[in-house]
Structure 1
């Protein structure tokens, strides 16, 4: 890492960066409220658009430890849960939290 820093910085030694004090006011740091900004952080990495449709894809495994995914989306004001094709979904506690959060968010969208 030291070589890369000295090469990029044009000098030997490790690179240092100046630390700026936080001078941003709380009002200017606030982003506009959008549906994406109100998302549960557990679904942030699983939530995306596919063909204009908002979907949540939660990674999981099957009974023989192959990588699979459970998909959640909203269609006609109903929540659709798609399991791996013909498979059983094995979820860790973290993945289960992501699925729970995705289902809660999808249910809220379906109620609108």
Structure 2
């Protein structure tokens, strides 16, 4: 299955990259670690997100490994910004996901949606 988005800007890169805020999000306030921990603990954790949920800069971030159209390793990143869920596609704008990876992405989006509603 392919997920096509226009957020990547066509730059090549690897799956191990730091999250760069989209234009206009540079002034976003990071969530204090104690708040992020409390919020993440209150979200019913799906076992599929155990290896993809991380704390980066005091914020909960999900990174789902995937591939691109020529089978390079990439990642789809999900995080919550204020009350919105942000999905960042890999560089090159295409993510090829296996059914297992799609399940991880679905679970990450569900957890992020729950956090955004609070």
TM-score by length of 2: 0.64
Q: Which has the higher contact order (CA 8 A, sep 6+)?
A: 2
Tell me how far apart the structure 2 counterparts of residues 37 and 80 of structure 1 sit (CA, whole Å). 17
Q: Which stretches in structure 2 are left out of the alignment for 5+ residues?
A: 1-39
Which secondary structure state, in structure 1, belongs to the residue aligned with residue 92 of structure 2?
A: coil
Whether 2:67 is the aligned partner of 1:61: answer yes
Runs of 4 or more above 6 Å deviation: none
Which secondary structure state, in structure 2, belongs to the residue aligned with residue 48 of structure 1?
A: strand
Q: Which stretches in structure 1 are left out of the alignment for 5+ residues?
A: 1-33
Instruction: Answer with 1 or 2: which has the greater Rg.
Output: 1
Whether 2:66 is the aligned partner of 1:90: answer no
| 1:99 counterpart (98, 105, 117) | 105
* CA-to-aligned-CA distance 1:76-110 (integer Å, 9 cap, x gap): 11000000023310000000000000000000000
Number of aligned residue pairs: 79
Tell me how far apart the structure 2 counterparts of residues 47 and 80 of structure 1 sit (CA, whole Å). 14
Which secondary structure state, in structure 1, belongs to the residue aligned with residue 95 of structure 2?
A: coil
CA RMSD of aligned residues (A): 1.5
| 2:87 counterpart (81, 97, 107) | 81
